[in-house]
């Protein structure tokens, strides 16, 4: 069992901010010839509107010194969550319409601020990704009662080719089901966007997506680019924390996903607590091989690889080892008396009830 020195303070906003890093958004714009003044007027209007969006910190407009038609809009946000909520909204779509007629092409990039030094101020964010693998998840819900049919459809698809291009390769896809919520976690070497576009174009994948359409709680039309884009943006579940052991596991590795019933508005503190627990678990040489936390709003899913079985150490698998951590996590989750994380019985019950069912876990087929 992992020891812990966590106190109830892990749930306050300061700790949440450390593991919910600020977000830097970079929007590259190619402005059409003769439309520079129109672009500047549109930006002038837009920047005041964006400044009023909750979570917005600042933005800058930059012009290339090599090609005056190339512009860069950078913005900083308190965390990814307020930006993602805003960028998916109808408000955002209406707000950016003035840019459409003067910009030939745009590309949006999003970056978590991991380290920062400014004078005497030093910021250390969560652990950066250093293994070259990009991890991302999609989540959506299906109509209650349709889960067995959805599971059958999702379990039967053929893996797409692993090779996307000379720089990008699909590594692994793990698909889970919990209640009526589906989570698909992907691991990509190279360009995530290129990989997702590649997967979406594969006939076997499109057939599966079309087959589950009638069972989705939120309707979508994959033949309509705007409908498809909106759906997959809302389904995005970003990886916000990753930690892994440098040592080879001593036992066969098992993969689990735990879905946390987060109280409204408590997603960031839950992520912060779990991230600290997992970092400490790896440092102490526990059976935790790796942990990736996916988070958006009040949806928190923790994907873990364990040397051995989760039932051998339920508290480690749940991320609630030690009384202080168990008590703090319990206050952030919507639990009943049967899932008291301070008791061995409650932790075991939580693990059994909130571990997602693994539907598929496979590497993509080679070309």
Domain ranges, residue 45? 23-108
Q: Name the one residue in this structure whose structure tokens are 């307020």.
A: 82
CA pair distance 238, 19, nearest whole angstrom: 14
pLDDT, tens only, 68-113: 889 999 999 988 878 888 887 888 888 888 888 888 888 888 888 8
**pLDDT at residue 260, as a whole number:** 98
Round the CA-based radius of gyration of the chain to a whole number and report it.
22
**pLDDT at residue 10, as a whole number:** 28
CA pair distance 325, 322, nearest whole angstrom: 6
pLDDT at 331 over 80: yes
**pLDDT at residue 206, as a whole number:** 84
Which residue, among 80, 100, 86, 79, has the nearest Cα to 53 in the 3D structure?
86
Mean pLDDT of 36-40: 91
Q: CB 367: neighbour CB atoms within 10 A?
A: 9
Q: What is the band of 147 on the pLDDT scale with cuts at 50, 70, 90?
A: very high
Domain co-membership, 247 together with 340: yes
pTM for the full predicted model: 0.74
Q: Which of 219, 235, 251 is the last residue of a domain?
A: 235
The contacts found for 127-135 with CB under 8 angstroms, 24 or more apart, are 127/241, 127/242, 127/243, 127/279, 129/242, 131/244, 132/189, 133/171, 133/187, 133/188, 133/189, 134/187, 134/188, 134/189, 134/190, 134/192, 134/195, 135/185, 135/186, 135/187, 135/188, 135/239, 135/242, 135/292
Q: Which residue has the higher pLDDT, 138 or 18?
A: 138
Domain co-membership, 166 together with 259: no
CATH number, domain of 86, equals 3.30.70.100
Q: Which of 235, 259, 287 is the last residue of a domain?
A: 235
Domain co-membership, 221 together with 278: no
Residues above pLDDT 90, as percent of the chain: 46
18-27, 68-77, 186-195: range with highest mean pLDDT: 68-77
Q: What is the band of 126 on the pLDDT scale with cuts at 50, 70, 90?
A: low
Q: Has residue 126 been placed in a domain? A: no
The sign of the CA dihedral 340, 343, 346, 352 is positive
Domain co-membership, 351 together with 243: yes
pLDDT, tens only, 332-360: 999 999 999 999 999 999 999 999 999 99
Domain co-membership, 243 together with 345: yes
Q: Which residue has the higher pLDDT, 266 or 162?
A: 266
Domain co-membership, 249 together with 344: yes
CA pair distance 239, 174, nearest whole angstrom: 14
Tally of domains within the chain: 3
Q: What is the band of 26 on the pLDDT scale with cuts at 50, 70, 90?
A: very high
**pLDDT at residue 365, as a whole number:** 60
Structure tokens at 90: 């109808």
Range name among 65-69, 124-128, 235-239 with the lowest pLDDT average:
124-128
Residue 118: C-alpha distances to residues 83, 122, 124, 173 (Å) = 24, 7, 12, 40
Q: What is the band of 15 on the pLDDT scale with cuts at 50, 70, 90?
A: very low
Domain co-membership, 244 together with 183: no
Q: Which residue has the higher pLDDT, 82 or 289?
A: 289
**pLDDT at residue 165, as a whole number:** 83
CATH number, domain of 247, equals 3.30.70.1090
Q: Which of 189, 219, 235 is the last residue of a domain?
A: 235
**pLDDT at residue 12, as a whole number:** 32
Q: Which residue has the higher pLDDT, 311 or 219?
A: 311
Q: Has residue 366 been placed in a domain? A: no
Domain co-membership, 268 together with 168: no
Domain co-membership, 298 together with 316: yes
pLDDT at 5 over 70: no
Q: Has residue 159 been placed in a domain? A: yes
127-131, 188-192, 268-272: range with highest mean pLDDT: 268-272
**pLDDT at residue 312, as a whole number:** 94
Domain co-membership, 231 together with 250: no
pLDDT at 62 over 60: yes
């Amino acid at each position: 069992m992992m020891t812990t020195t966590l106190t109830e303070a892990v749930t306050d906003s300061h700790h949440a901010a450390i593991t919910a890093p600020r977000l830097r958004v970079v929007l590259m714009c190619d402005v059409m010839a003769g439309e520079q003044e129109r672009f500047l007027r549109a930006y002038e209007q837009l920047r005041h509107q964006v400044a009023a969006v909750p979570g917005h910190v600042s933005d800058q407009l930059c012009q290339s010194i090599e090609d005056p038609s190339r512009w860069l809009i950078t913005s900083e946000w308190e965390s990814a969550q307020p930006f993602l909520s805003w960028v998916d909204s109808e408000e955002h779509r209406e707000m950016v319409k003035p840019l459409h007629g003067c910009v030939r092409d745009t590309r949006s990039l999003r970056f978590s601020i991991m380290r920062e030094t400014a004078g005497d101020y030093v910021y250390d964010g969560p652990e950066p990704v250093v293994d070259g693998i990009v991890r991302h998840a999609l989540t959506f819900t299906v109509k209650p009662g349709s889960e067995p049919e959805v599971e059958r459809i999702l379990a039967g698809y053929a893996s797409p080719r692993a090779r996307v291009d000379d720089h990008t390769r699909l590594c692994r896809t793990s698909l889970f089901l919990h209640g009526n919520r589906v989570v698909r976690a992907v691991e990509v070497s190279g360009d995530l966007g290129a990989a997702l576009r590649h997967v979406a174009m594969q006939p076997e994948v499109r057939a599966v997506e079309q087959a589950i359409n009638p069972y989705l709680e939120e309707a979508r039309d994959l033949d309509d680019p705007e409908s498809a884009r909106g759906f997959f943006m809302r389904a995005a579940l970003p990886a916000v924390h990753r930690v892994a052991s440098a040592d080879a596991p001593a036992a066969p590795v098992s993969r689990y996903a735990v879905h946390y019933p987060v109280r409204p508005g408590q997603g960031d503190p839950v992520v912060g607590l779990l991230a600290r627990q997992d970092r400490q678990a790896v440092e102490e040489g526990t059976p935790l091989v790796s942990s990736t936390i996916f988070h958006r709003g009040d949806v928190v899913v923790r994907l873990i690889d364990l040397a051995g079985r989760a039932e051998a150490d339920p508290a480690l698998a749940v991320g609630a080892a030690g009384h202080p951590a168990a008590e703090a996590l319990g206050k952030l989750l919507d639990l009943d008396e049967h899932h008291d994380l301070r008791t061995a019985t409650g932790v075991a019950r939580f693990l059994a009830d909130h571990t997602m069912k693994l539907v598929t876990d496979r590497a993509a087929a080679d070309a």
